[in-house]
Structure formats: C-alpha cells, structure tokens
Amino acid sequence: MFITLEGPDGSGKTSQLPALKEFLQDAGYEVVLTREPGGTPVGNQIREVLMNLKNVSITPRTEILLFLAARAQHVEELIRPALAAGKIVLCDRFGDSTLAYQGFGHQIDLDTLQMLLDFSTGGLKPDLTLLVDVPVEVGMERKRVNSTEWNRLDAYTLAFHERVRQGYFALAEAEPARWVIIDATKDKDSVQKALQTAVTSRLGGG
Ligand code: TYD
C-alpha cells in the first residue's frame, strides 16, 4: 500500500511520520519511510539544488522538471520495488505537492502538469493520501519558530501559500475516496491518533 502525506508548509506532517511508521510496524507491517524531493541518492542531490537559497535564478519550469526528475528516480529505484515486495510505503509529499505548489501556487497549467506528472511516475498513484492541514498563518508561524533554516522554497508570499492550501482542498474534493483531511491545529498526540485511525481503516477495508 502506497500512503502519502501532504500539507502546507509547517503542518507538522514530517514530525508525525516516525511514530506512524512505528505504529504500522507494531501492527506487523513492513514499512518504508521516505520523502520528496529526495528519497534516493540522486533525488537528494536534486533536493540540494532546489533548496539552495543561492539558486534564485531557478525558473518555474526548471523547478518543476527538477521535482519530477527526483520523483522519477524515486518511483523506479525505491517506491515500486518496495510496493512489489508487499511493503507499506509512507511518503512525505508526492505528486499532489506538484499540483498544489506548482499548479495552484505558481499557477502553471494543471493539464500540462498532470501529463508531466504521469510521465514521471509512470502512472503510479497513492492508495491513500493524508492531508495534514493547518491555516497558512499557523503553518508559517510554526516554521519560523521551529526551523533552524529558511530555505528558498519557504520564501514565497502568504498569498502563494494560501493558493497551495486551497489547491489541496480542490484536489481532495476531486478524489474523495483517496484523501483524508486531518485537522493539524490540534495537539501532536491527537493528530497522530487521527492519522493512525485513517490508515487503519484503509488497511482494514483492503
Ligand atoms: P521540505 O523542507 O521537505 O518541507 P516540508 O517539511 O514542508 O515538506 O521542503 C519541501 C518543499 O518543496 C515544500 O515547500 C513543498 C515544496 N515542493 C514543491 O513545491 N513541489 C513538489 O513537487 C514537492 C515534492 C515539494
């Protein structure tokens, strides 16, 4: 089963993943925890390029192709083999991040993006996507307080991040069977419980 976590910056999803992995392992599943951009040696090198504050000249098209290049490598090298071996793959961000950030955020044509996305993934789609949602101001404040570094992609405006969040809602509405929206303004333990409940019910339902 392929499970992805999505959400606006500062939603706290990344910090929830180790506990969710442990919960699934305790239930007897083999779990691979990975993230985007990254997840493979080549993907992590591409991540460096994307995050580097010095790379101010990256254009929106270049940015898209770098995210997708990292994803193509990730799918072939790590995700598909793990799924074929019967493991649960838990992935911190995936294709929906491209639609939300580059599509809704940077307002790149969604049909074109979807076509490029399908090429990069070979058509692989998550079985379950957990949207770890917080209002933009809450997310930005959490990032300011908690993160040691401020990367190139954090520097976009509030309006951009608001479009990203609304984009996620639109994606979830378009495919309600795949998405579960988790209210991440609650405390950490409640959010973890909600994630576990969503995953358990999906696993139970086949
Ligand atoms: P990261 O530091 O991993 O942030 P987070 O903890 O919020 O996931 O940075 C990932 C950033 O890259 C984040 O701002 C979202 C952005 N992103 C895209 O714009 N498009 C994509 O396809 C992906 C995978 C990420």
What's the pLDDT score for residue 157? 85
Specify the pTM: 0.94
> Which CATH number goes with the domain that contains 153?
3.40.50.300
Nearest atom (ligand 1) to Cα of 71: 24
177 and 168 Cβ atoms separated by less than 8 Å: no
Report whether 129 belongs to an annotated binding site: no
CB atoms under 10 Å from CB of 158, counted, come to: 10
What's the pLDDT score for residue 128? 98
At 91-114, the pLDDT tens digits run: 999 999 999 999 999 999 999 999
pLDDT, the chain, mean: 94
Q: Strands (DSSP E) along the chain, which ranges?
A: 2-6, 31-35, 88-92, 128-133, 179-183
CA 82 to ligand 1 centroid distance, Å = 22
CA 184 to chain centre: 15
CA 35 to ligand 1 centroid distance, Å = 9
At 113-168, the pLDDT tens digits run: 999 999 999 999 999 999 999 999 999 888 878 776 666 666 778 899 999 999 99
Separation CA 193–CA 81 (nearest Å): 29
Report whether 10 belongs to an annotated binding site: yes
CB atoms under 10 Å from CB of 193, counted, come to: 14
30 and 115 Cβ atoms separated by less than 8 Å: no
Separation CA 67–CA 46 (nearest Å): 8
90 and 17 Cβ atoms separated by less than 8 Å: yes
The count of structural domains within the chain is 1
The parent domain of residue 165 ranges over 2-205
Separation CA 193–CA 170 (nearest Å): 25
